[in-house]
Amino acid sequence: MKRYRVMYRATENVNSEVARTEEVYADGWRVDTDKVVLYRSAAGADDTPVFDVPKSRVVRIQEIRG
């Protein structure tokens, strides 16, 4: 399991200075049609979404090592 820091805007306003940061434990992340999804994988099962946010709001996704 990896730890990710996800920074995203609280609103759809691109000029908004208000950004939120969440730290999420997940196995990976992917971009779906309209959102970014962080997920956990299980052997022989489908991915389980842990966190999602509309892709228009995402500022940065950073893997935290250490």
Structure tokens at 64: 């935290």
The model carries a pTM of 0.85
Could you read off the pLDDT of 16-60 as tens digits, one per residue? 678 899 999 999 999 999 999 999 998 878 899 999 999 999 999
55's tokens? 């892709």
Q: How far is CA 24 from the centre of its chain?
A: 8
Task: Give the tokens for residue 33.
Answer: 């049609």
Residue in this structure with the two tokens 């997920």, named with its chain if needed: 39
Contact 10, 20 (CB under 8 A): yes
pLDDT at 55: 93
